[in-house]
Structure 1
């Protein structure tokens, strides 16, 4: 296959694979009539147009059906099912290789131009085509007839021997061969068992294709198996046995989902499916996946300096320290960037408080989540997290959250007098040593259920701390850097703590960085007590600087507030349609959906079920308290648009309405 001037691709089933979902949409109708649509019947129709499945349904049922109504239902269902699909694994790499070789590429499809245009855009495949030939409902010119391929060759002005075609079905392969074009078969799940022997080569996926080898005539990386023969073994590390070996070495098994790339609010799996990530990774991708400005900033910095001991100055770190001091509450003038993680930062803040107050005890909340180090596990709420470990941080006092929906004191907000603050005095006087160094809390609980404190709570808590000589620490690892629609939750609530920890979202697109902000009077703790090896990483600092630049642009935080308010409104409307949502609460794009059973009690089982089923609807969801809680956490990337918010809410509605009443 030397001297190739054009590579022609079938669309449906080859560049992307909607066949399984289209089959599903039809099969669901058959099941409603008490009959199964055999996969082999469907497979025999792949690559044709105008196939009459409704006649087969009428034969099976012995009665006439409303074909127009059924076809419209299938059309709507297809739109739902296909909304999360993208290109098949390896497609973008192959198209990039075609373009790099300066070869024309075209689409040859039995579908309509409207269909191809819509889903090519969805898959990110809309650009770069020299010719697009579609049957547009004309059965006479559709595959397996060669007419579409002949038209493509004529439009490009090249002979058949200078083209290569990629197809997934026998009809497509036959059409290419009848036009005199050499053909590579890339079957999908619905065509893998069909007879594709007429193809010149067969690969099981685009990821196995060596395009320069095919075009240049060099030996193939993958041989083509005969029909019924065992498929050749994939390259080392990519085959099933290699994958199994890798999984055996994980300390604990990861999820089955295998992802290959991300962009904005979307994550793409190796099976071609696209997911809308409602959790922005682990709430740390404030600017989403692969934000181009973060990618470029990291790429540029990596070429100069990736890491150096934090003993020395670098331009990115100096600039970041200055910028953090500028955007933080006015009383927080000192920046410590030598923490390796949010857990590390929280532990460092406790150490600073203990050194400066000369006291030892730490007050935290029942549902608080302060990190994964042994010390911060002990300081966090939830008994199941502390249970495996015999040694905990001594002197920790846990107090009730300001959770008005489930008030520990069974009060009503209008008349409670903020008892959840007042009673902390009793905990200090009777449950601690009386030597409390600090109170550490998330302004809005992250893993503990997205609890938003009532108005006045944080102000009253700071007053209590100052009256008793206690330092107030805000853990803004999840709430910081725009999550609430303000730079910090401290800005949203109008309360400045004495210390603040940060992390997660500052990295923008996933770069690890964390640290501590303190008042001027709290400096002086020696570095060897609170420094970590990878703290102050130069590469992460470059990403953080760019993140702060993007977040600080006019309109960015306003958009977070606007989109967040819109999502809250839509989800509260959804809550009125289902019996299992007790409350939707949040600020900005930090939102929680409180799930309950028929008696109104927290229902972790249903919450986990919704998160698991979310993947079937193209959603990635996380739940509170590591699956022990009853809150679905909705915290997408802050770059989410109104259109993407609508898509997310639409998918959540379909998910929720699929739960039996």
Structure 2
């Protein structure tokens, strides 16, 4: 049974966006700063399974999951049930004032489920950016070092420090400086764009990064390396196999804290509970958010006990971190992933999507690369016959998808990646229909360009 008994079908009653959504958009423009953008200005009334329903009665296929947040589905039944009960008991006490069991239980579950069998500690915050920032705080405190290493195309958030860690200027960093000190950026093992080809990518990128760290910073000065096991906003870049292991080995050999930013990749999204598991990587600290609580604001920082316990009392925390409603939601999410087999379901989504996208790439040389794992899939668009990014075509095809009732997102350092993050509970028929709509969008774009 889907939440609210929403029919799992695409239904277009008006143009997209419809008249009521356009009215609300005018209100938004007069009340909300223009810097808060909107990918698709349809105002939502209900959502569940694989669909989002808007104020005009349209039902759209969801290939976005609120940017990988509603992986277990929107208004997922177990989440609704636990949150509904909790809101009637109490909504907030601040865990640092008078604690409650659900916070502890979430931490226990994350300690048990994240990679590695070493002793761990977890604390809870509100967002992915806050998790990454706190992970760096822990690493600096525990090591007594200051430098932080990140990678090209990476995205880690919008706070001062995480904006500094993020690679892309527009729209995330433009004119928001000055930035935080002691952050150093290294080359990423980006197979599609590696100069000597994908077969050399892992070893060469790791060698370059290690050489630069050694010469320019000094390994003994580095507190942490922060990396996404699969990059998110940077374009769903899947590092060449072996790269993560080489970097993790270097960190271990030099007393550097290896921080995995699994904000977008965590909680079954990639066909593992955590993306690090694909290559057997065991991070010293792992940051989680997005899919952790079914849409409620929550994030976790889980790390080796000796690192986490090094911080003095009062050095970690926040007023809303680990809100009781969000904790109940997180426990419901973990239960849903396990009981509904959503790790395996993510793999099945990849098995459906990847062959069709590769076939689409075979028909359209506008697609330079198809990549991803599980239900975290992307296609990179280029000018035919080259690797030159084509952000204009990417935006145009996304608009065509939106107009036909398919929610897709763009990404990438160059703005030329279409990324797909369907809810893990999306039924197969909607997944297939969404892919058909994408194929039609490509054909219509090519026809329009040739006709022009």
Q: Is the counterpart of residue 372 in structure 1 residue 298 in structure 2?
A: no
Per the TM alignment, residue 423 of structure 1 is displaced from its structure 2 partner at its CA by 1.4
Q: Distance in 2 between matches of 1:333 and 1:551?
A: 24
Is residue 338–residue 534 contact of structure 1 (8 Å, CA) maintained in 2? no
Q: Which residue of 324, 330, 339 corresponds with 1:538?
A: 324
Q: Is the counterpart of residue 403 in structure 1 residue 207 in structure 2?
A: no
Q: How many residues align?
A: 428
Alignment of 1:508-523 (within 5 A): 508=294, 510-522=295-307, 523=309
Partner of 2:143: 357
Q: Distance in 2 between matches of 1:412 and 1:247?
A: 46
Partner of 1:323: 109
Q: Which digits, 9 at most, give the CA deviation of each residue in 1:212-263, with x for residues without a partner?
A: xxxxxxxxxxxxxxxxxxxxxxxxxx996x9745531211265432222112
Structure 2: state its 5+ residue gaps.
1-8
Per the TM alignment, residue 574 of structure 1 is displaced from its structure 2 partner at its CA by 1.3
Q: Which residue of 75, 79, 91 corresponds with 1:294?
A: 79
Q: Which digits, 9 at most, give the CA deviation of each residue in 1:161-211, with x for residues without a partner?
A: xxxxxxxxxxxxxxxxxxxxxxxxxxxx9xxxxxxxxxxxxxx99xxxxxx
Alignment of 1:558-569 (within 5 A): 558-569=344-355
Q: Which digits, 9 at most, give the CA deviation of each residue in 1:63-95, with x for residues without a partner?
A: xxxxxxxxxxxxxxxxxxxx732679xxxxxxx
Q: Which residue of 185, 203, 222 corresponds with 1:436?
A: 222
Q: Which digits, 9 at most, give the CA deviation of each residue in 1:100-146, with x for residues without a partner?
A: xxxxxxxxxxxxxxxxxxxxxxxxxxxxxxxxxxxxxxxxxxxxxxx
Q: Which residue of 604, 613, 624 corresponds with 2:391?
A: 604
Partner of 2:3: none
Q: Which structure ranks higher in relative contact order (CA pairs < 8 Å, sequence separation ≥ 6)?
A: 2
Partner of 1:248: 30
Q: Distance in 2 between matches of 1:333 and 1:619?
A: 44
Report SS of the residue matched to 1:517: strand
Q: Which residue of 398, 421, 436 corresponds with 1:650?
A: 436
Partner of 1:459: 245
Is residue 507–residue 513 contact of structure 1 (8 Å, CA) maintained in 2? yes
Q: Distance in 1 between matches of 2:117 and 2:156?
A: 23
Structure 1: state its 5+ residue gaps.
1-82, 89-188, 190-203, 206-237
Alignment of 1:266-277 (within 5 A): 266-277=51-62
Per the TM alignment, residue 429 of structure 1 is displaced from its structure 2 partner at its CA by 2.7
Per the TM alignment, residue 548 of structure 1 is displaced from its structure 2 partner at its CA by 0.3
Is residue 152–residue 188 contact of structure 2 (8 Å, CA) maintained in 1? yes
Q: Which residue of 91, 106, 119 corresponds with 1:306?
A: 91
Deviates more, 1:360-369 or 1:554-563: 554-563
Runs of 4+ in 1 over 4 A off after TM superposition: 242-246
Q: Which residue of 273, 279, 284 corresponds with 2:64?
A: 279
C-alpha distance 581-293 of structure 1, shift in aligned 2 (>3 A): same
Q: Which residue of 3, 7, 10 corresponds with 1:84?
A: 10
Partner of 1:525: 311
Q: Distance in 2 between matches of 1:613 and 1:583?
A: 20
Partner of 1:4: none
Report SS of the residue matched to 2:358: helix
Q: Is the counterpart of residue 585 in structure 1 residue 367 in structure 2?
A: no
Q: Distance in 2 between matches of 1:657 and 1:87?
A: 24
Alignment of 1:375-390 (within 5 A): 375-384=161-170, 385-390=172-177
Q: Distance in 1 between matches of 2:260 and 2:25?
A: 43
Q: Is the counterpart of residue 624 in structure 1 residue 406 in structure 2?
A: no
Alignment of 1:66-145 (within 5 A): 84-85=10-11
Q: Distance in 2 between matches of 1:596 and 1:413?
A: 17
Q: Which residue of 406, 419, 427 corresponds with 1:641?
A: 427
Partner of 2:263: 477
C-alpha distance 529-603 of structure 1, shift in aligned 2 (>3 A): farther
Report SS of the residue matched to 1:530: coil
Q: Distance in 2 between matches of 1:429 and 1:483?
A: 34
C-alpha distance 511-466 of structure 1, shift in aligned 2 (>3 A): same
Q: Distance in 2 between matches of 1:366 and 1:398?
A: 6
Is residue 484–residue 561 contact of structure 1 (8 Å, CA) maintained in 2? yes
Q: Which residue of 320, 337, 341 corresponds with 1:551?
A: 337
Is residue 12–residue 405 contact of structure 2 (8 Å, CA) maintained in 1? no
Q: Distance in 2 between matches of 1:239 and 1:517?
A: 43
Q: Distance in 1 between matches of 2:426 and 2:410?
A: 20
Is residue 580–residue 597 contact of structure 1 (8 Å, CA) maintained in 2? yes
Deviates more, 1:474-483 or 1:576-585: 576-585
C-alpha distance 367-254 of structure 1, shift in aligned 2 (>3 A): closer
C-alpha distance 258-300 of structure 1, shift in aligned 2 (>3 A): same
Is residue 331–residue 496 contact of structure 1 (8 Å, CA) maintained in 2? no
Deviates more, 1:638-647 or 1:414-423: 414-423
Q: Distance in 1 between matches of 2:12 and 2:366?
A: 32
Q: Distance in 1 between matches of 2:202 and 2:226?
A: 22
CA RMSD of aligned residues (A): 2.3
C-alpha distance 401-415 of structure 1, shift in aligned 2 (>3 A): closer
Q: Distance in 1 between matches of 2:260 and 2:439?
A: 34
Partner of 1:34: none
Q: Which residue of 345, 355, 359 corresponds with 1:573?
A: 359
Q: Distance in 2 between matches of 1:654 and 1:503?
A: 34
Q: Distance in 1 between matches of 2:156 and 2:363?
A: 35
Is residue 369–residue 447 contact of structure 1 (8 Å, CA) maintained in 2? yes
Per the TM alignment, residue 586 of structure 1 is displaced from its structure 2 partner at its CA by 0.5
Q: Distance in 2 between matches of 1:556 and 1:338?
A: 24
Is residue 131–residue 301 contact of structure 2 (8 Å, CA) maintained in 1? yes
The structure whose Rg is larger is 1
Per the TM alignment, residue 358 of structure 1 is displaced from its structure 2 partner at its CA by 0.9
Partner of 2:178: 391
C-alpha distance 484-517 of structure 1, shift in aligned 2 (>3 A): same
Per the TM alignment, residue 378 of structure 1 is displaced from its structure 2 partner at its CA by 0.6
- Please give the TM-score of this superposition, normalised by the length of structure 1: 0.62
